[in-house]
Structure 1
Amino acid sequence: MLGKADLHTHTIASDGAYTPEELLEKAFEKKLKIISITDHDTIKGYLKGKEKAKELGIELIPGVEVTAVWNKREVHILTYCFDEDDQEFRRMLLNQKKSRVKRMERIVKKLQSKGLDITMDEVRAEAGPGNIGRPHAASVLINKGYVASVAEAFIRYLSTDKLGHIKTMYVSVEELVKIAKKAGGVLSLAHPGPLYTQSEIDELMALGLDGLECIHPSHNFNLQRSFSKIAERDNLLITGGSDFHGKGKKDYDPYFGIVTVGDQHVMSLKRMARRRRELTRMNN
């Protein structure tokens, strides 16, 4: 069935509000046939959801949204169909988790220097079992009455512009490409529309990314069509999804079950991953 794959969703393993099981139940209600749980820098949500997906008859594609560094800025790379048991890939994700904690410690210090009453323990409490991130700091700011919403927290305090350069130890795009491809993975640049110029997208693609997230709630119809044409012209994979977080965590949540890609794009993604694994096996 065309148009019923969501390749961009989040759970409590990072900054989503639903457990993997709850997310899959919701996907079933929305009649989604294929989804990928793409939590930030962790595959715990994907691993936890595998059994439930099988039970519901939903195809669950291995996925993760990796935060990488390029030109001294953060870039989000959706990575799919990797070997989940690959040790180097697992080590990279563990390092990403540690880097997230160090980064948040620096963010908290910066917020404190602005006179905000916020502690690392409070942010950790908001993150719970999930990989820590700025939305958890935003929740603390909401709880304390500094802001009324996550969007306001980012506008006033947590955007890259407001925070300035925060030193991180995230993986570089080049290193991620090398590690992910060795693990049979396929890489797509997440939500490029609001973030990059066309020349920046071209530079990132030249580093070895396989696709573009053409379909995303932050892209209007014309932008989706424009990115899809670029992907077709440059022989890139087309990926997409709702970027669902759950319970109003993001403005994108109403798009779950609506912003999807056709399964022909999923087939292309899986075909590329299959070929990559075969080549890796031949070269070992």
Structure 2
Amino acid sequence: MLPKADLHIHTTCSDGKLSPKEAVEVAKEKKLTSLSITDHDTYKGFFEAREIADELEIELIPGVEITSAFGEKEAHLLAYYFDPDTNYLEDFLSSQRSARKNRIKGIIQTVQKAGLDVEYDEVWAEANGANIGRPHLARVLVQKGYVSSPKEAFIRYLSDQKLGSIENSYPDYKEVIRIVKNVGGACVVAHPGKMYSSKEMTAFIEAGIDGIECIHPSHNYALQKKYTELCAENGLLMTGGSDTHEGKDAGYMNLGVVTIAYKHIEKMKKMTEQRKNIVEIKN
């Protein structure tokens, strides 16, 4: 069996249901070679999972999914192989967490106007100390009987289309790319799907993005082919992952199913090693 990896999962450190240690255990069960925990705007899970990853011989790649502003849109950028021991990146992500709190408050105000009785404190309690986000609000809406599932919550109330324009204080995507490179990491556009036009993807490339997440549960074959070809044409890294949020009690989990070949990890590792030799790593 060829070695494979999952470069996109979420844990209880943000809006996932697996603990970081459980994520590594599942990765081992699924016979993965490498795993990257990419929680929203935090890489706390990396430190929690590092010891068990060593024990189970799973290569744990430092990762984080960073929220940024892309014009009127919210763009998610994945960072990999950065130096996890620098204060520079952690200080930046601390400000991100404040931005996340402010944004969820704006989202709650929007659903309140739609007639739903929900308060920030309820969503904060559901997050239980993790980086707060829309999935936590979705779970509260399920608990209160407004919807039957988190999926229905997003369809009816929490999609970008339903929410419309909500003010946020996230940094510009160009700034995020610069910050990731300053700690020797690779910066990748997450799950582009049908979100961006060709012109917008060109903007990411011109800003210095290192790669594109080509393999994702939301990408059909045509989209995978489209972004794989875009990577080949522009010399970009190709990444992929399951974007797992489910826990062990879920009937089905994409972790271990939606994967990327290890040869792409090797390319990323080589590129970031070269970058660390060139840039002055910010501390």
1: distance between equivalents of 2:148 and 2:281?
A: 55
- Within 5 A, what are the aligned runs for 1:189-228? 189-228=189-228
Whole-Å separation in 1 of the counterparts to 2:4 and 2:281? 34
Which residue number in structure 1 is paired with residue 70 of structure 2? 70
Q: Matched residues in 1 for 2:130 and 2:29: separation? A: 25
Unaligned runs of 5+ in 2: none
Structure 1 residues 248 and 144, CA gap change in structure 2 (3 angstroms): farther
TM-score (norm 2): 0.95
Is 1:104–2:104 an aligned residue pair?
Answer: yes
Amino acid across the alignment from 2:95: N
Runs of 4+ in structure 1 over 4 Å off: 248-251
Aligned residue for 1:15? 15
- Partner Cα distance (1:109, 1:259) in 2: 36
- Do the aligned residues in 1 keep the contact of 2:18 with 2:248 (CA within 8 Å)? no
> Equivalents in 2 of 1:126, 1:83: separation in Å?
31
Q: Following the alignment from structure 2 to structure 1, what is the Cα–Cα distance between the partners of residues 130 and 84? A: 19
Q: Which amino acid aligns with 2:206?
A: A
Q: Which residue type is aligned with residue 82 of structure 1?
A: F
* Equivalent residues in 2 for 1:42-121, closer than 5 Å: 42-121=42-121
Q: In structure 1, how many angstroms separate the alpha carbons of the residues matched to 2:221 and 2:281?
A: 42
CA contact (8 A) 1:14 1:40 kept: yes
Q: Which range moves more in the overlay, 150-159 or 74-83?
A: 150-159
- Summarize deviations over 1:123-172 as a string: whole Å, max 9, x none: 01111121000000001111111111111111111111211211111121
Identity %: 46
Q: Give the letter for the 1:40 counterpart.
A: H
Tell me if the contact between 1:2 and 1:264 (Cα under 8 Å) persists in the aligned partners: no
1:188 is matched with 188
Instruction: Give the drift of 1:71.
Output: 0.7
* Cα gap change, 1:282 to 1:155, in 2 (>3 Å): closer
Equivalent position of 2:143 in the other structure:
143
Two-structure CA RMSD over aligned residues (Å): 2.0
Partner residue in 2 for 1:270: 269
- State the aligned residue count: 283
- TM-score normalized by structure 1? 0.95
CA pair 275-8 structure 1, distance change in 2 beyond 3 A? same
Contact 2:3 2:33 in 1 (8 A): no
Question: For 1:47 and 1:121, how far apart are their aligned partners in 2?
Answer: 28
**Secondary structure of 1:41 counterpart:** coil
1:29: which partner in 2? 29
* Matched residue SS, 1:109: helix
Superposed CA deviations along residues 20-77 of structure 1, whole A, max 9, x for unmatched, are 0111111110001100000010001111111110111000000000011011210010
Q: State the distance in 2 between where 1:232 and 1:182 align.
A: 25
Change (3 A) 1:247 1:19: closer
Q: 1:42 to 1:249 in 2, by over 3 A?
A: farther
Deviation at 1:282, TM superposition (A): 9.7
Q: How far apart in 2 are the matches of 1:160 and 1:106? A: 13
Query: How far is 1:254 from its partner?
Result: 3.1
